[in-house]
């Protein structure tokens, strides 16, 4: 990555994010002269047109730990998370990445909405709440599978299937 003050663009580039990405880069260039981006292969086509200092595509040989270490070493002034729609749901990975970059200023960029600055503590609480919600969904799914498996085993026993195939 290039040296000097920087800002970080974080995006997965779903449909409709092109304009939001352009707006985010414009705003980040006002904060720092150098803008680096972390995205996916889907976002690469848009990021290549934005004249960024560095583009890192996750999943193409760039391990997340190394990318974060390099970004943190540069001490970015800001990180911008680009959202795919007007809502703020989802994007747990991007919000977590924004926190892990160590940038003191975090921006939320949504299509057709003004850019919103979010406090690191507030975003940390949001990420924590989303992680708890995801863990709750995993526990509920595991419990449902366990009950279904138990029910099937019980039904098999009542049907005499536990002795089937034995001589």
Per-residue pLDDT tens listing for the chain (167 residues) = 445 568 888 887 666 677 788 888 888 888 888 888 888 777 777 888 888 888 877 776 667 787 778 778 878 888 888 877 666 666 788 888 889 888 899 988 887 778 888 889 998 998 999 899 999 999 999 999 999 999 998 888 888 766 655 54
Residues 97 and 158 in one domain: no
- Domain count along the chain: 2
Residues 147 and 67 in one domain: no
Side-chain half-sphere exposure of 127, counting CA atoms within 13 A:
17
Residue 128, domain member (yes or no) = no
Provide the domain limits for residue 25.
6-118
This prediction has a pTM of 0.73
Whose structure tokens read 């799914």? 141
Residues 57 and 107 in one domain: yes
Residues 69 and 142 in one domain: no
Residue 127, domain member (yes or no) = no
- 13 CB-near residues (< 8 Å, 6+ apart): 21, 39, 40, 42, 43, 45, 46, 47, 82
CA gyration radius, the chain: 22
Residue 25, domain member (yes or no) = yes
């Amino acid at each position: 990555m290039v040296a000097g003050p920087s800002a970080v663009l974080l995006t997965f580039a779903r449909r409709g994010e092109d304009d939001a990405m352009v707006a985010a880069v414009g705003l980040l260039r006002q904060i720092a002269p150098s803008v680096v981006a972390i995205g996916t292969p889907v976002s690469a086509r848009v990021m290549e047109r934005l004249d960024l200092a560095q583009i890192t595509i996750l999943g193409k040989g760039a391990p997340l730990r190394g990318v974060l270490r390099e970004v943190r070493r540069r001490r970015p002034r800001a990180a911008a998370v680009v959202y795919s729609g007007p809502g703020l749901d989802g994007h747990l990975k991007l919000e977590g990445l924004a926190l892990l970059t160590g940038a003191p200023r975090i921006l939320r960029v949504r299509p057709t909405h003004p850019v919103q600055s979010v406090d690191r503590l507030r975003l940390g609480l949001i990420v924590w709440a989303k992680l708890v919600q995801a863990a709750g969904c995993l526990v509920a799914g595991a419990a449902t599978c366990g009950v279904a498996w138990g029910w099937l085993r019980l039904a098999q026993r009542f049907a005499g299937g536990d002795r089937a195939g034995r001589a």
